[in-house]
Amino acid sequence: MYEIFIPMRMGKFTFNNKSIVLLIKVAVLGGAERQALGLAKYLKSKYNCKVSLVATHSNIPTPEFKEFAKECGIEKIEYFGVPSLTIKKEFSIHNLKKTVRAFIYLFKMKKGISKLKPNIIIPFLNTPSKIATLIYKSAGAQITFWHQLGLDTYSYDVLENQALKKVPFIIANAENGLDIFKEKYNIPSEKLFVLPQYVSIKRIELDRLTLKNEFLIKSDALVIGMVAHYREEKYQELLINAFSKINTSKEIHLVLLGNKDNDESTLSKHNQLLELVKRKEISHRVSVLSGYPVERILNILDIGVLVSQIEGTPNVVMEYMLYGIPVIASNHIGCRNLLENSQYVIPNEESILINKLENLINNEAPMKLEGTLNEHRIKNYGIENYITKLTLIINNFI
């Protein structure tokens, strides 16, 4: 087991009046990006911080990212060039060229970020963590850390190995996120921390009937939904198949929300889901949506679902809980931590998913109970608690 946090010595570091650089990959409003923007808003308003947002791979925002960023007080996304960050442990002309490109890129990042005069660099996901660790001292920052969130990629290259030798400490949002650091990279346990993130949105009440009408959902329909990236590791197909076999006399509707325009693979997955819905002959009862603000969907859901290959502590489950929605989720440790002893944390099996959906759809009492329990459980995941615990960890390494 890893510590969620350890009450350590109280040092001098606080977030008051600090210059903060938040490092993300792309300006797309996924879970990690919502976390970054929510943190920016909180640090600016509560701690009077100067917050800069730097994208490592692209600063071209999706419309929903741009809108949410503006709400959070971020008007500009800094960007310092196309990344080149993988160096293999081999001698070849190709690898030598990649080495030169990598060092040029890191120099540009260091030079660009140093102009922002950061006290701390807070990265989101592995690639930004790799960059932050390699440049934070030369960019003038006191501290950074490795921030592993959910399913993320590793390069296993020379630069990653060097970064993990230098990293002050590592934070993951669930226990399974730390396994690779301990097992492959032999990072000592005292540098590994589990710190679940915070709910990065506020609950906003919108008119449910108006939204249903906009999305062409019958006013009396019970709405099941899954908010998740259109990526291979998310199992929207499992939910569609289960939905098509639900036995109920009630009117039901399924809503899927993701962003089809992230890249070619997300567009392909989106189109495959549309084709599956068509083959199942349930197009009139299923909405496959892209690019809508998550709050609009949360306001019409009666049941929230997240079925997937792997998760850390999933933002969307936290958002379902914030809205008092009963949740059915895959049996990942982050989901178990959030939903505690809920009977609706399940294996990725169609028959079990159907059974749990039918149990909620056909019985009002468990729906209300689970929704109420979730509203209570999520109160432990406020951003204030997160900052307090993060400050304690930082003070052990400064």
Q: Report whether pLDDT(263) > 90.
A: no
Domain count of the chain?
Answer: 2
Q: Report whether pLDDT(2) > 60.
A: no
Considering the domain architecture, whether residues 226 and 346 belong to the same structural domain is answered as yes
DSSP alpha helices (H): ranges in the chain? 31-47, 63-71, 93-114, 126-135, 158-166, 179-183, 208-214, 236-243, 264-279, 294-298, 315-322, 333-339, 350-361, 364-377, 383-395
Q: Report whether pLDDT(199) > 50.
A: yes
Helix (H, G, I), strand (E, B) or coil at 391: helix
Considering the domain architecture, whether residues 226 and 291 belong to the same structural domain is answered as yes
CATH number where 91 lies = 3.40.50.2000
The pLDDT of residue 10 is 54
Check if the beta carbon of residue 239 is closer than 8 Å to that of residue 271: no
Considering the domain architecture, whether residues 389 and 334 belong to the same structural domain is answered as no
Q: Which domain holds residue 330?
A: 208-379
Considering the domain architecture, whether residues 120 and 239 belong to the same structural domain is answered as no
- Mean pLDDT taken over the chain: 93
**Cα(188)–Cα(269) distance, integer angstroms:** 39
Give me 341's structure tokens. 């002893």
- Read off the pLDDT of residues 272-309 as tens digits, 9 standing for 90 and up: 999 999 999 999 999 999 989 999 999 999 999 999 99
Map tokens 């925002």 to a residue.
61
Considering the domain architecture, whether residues 300 and 263 belong to the same structural domain is answered as yes
Map tokens 């005069």 to a residue.
117
Considering the domain architecture, whether residues 180 and 35 belong to the same structural domain is answered as yes
Give me the residues paired with residue 304 across strands: 225, 327
What is the model's pTM? 0.85
Considering the domain architecture, whether residues 174 and 252 belong to the same structural domain is answered as no
Q: Report whether pLDDT(192) > 60.
A: yes
Phi, psi of 301 (to 5 degrees): -80, 140
Comparing CA positions, the residue from 314, 308, 310 lying closest to residue 196 is: 314
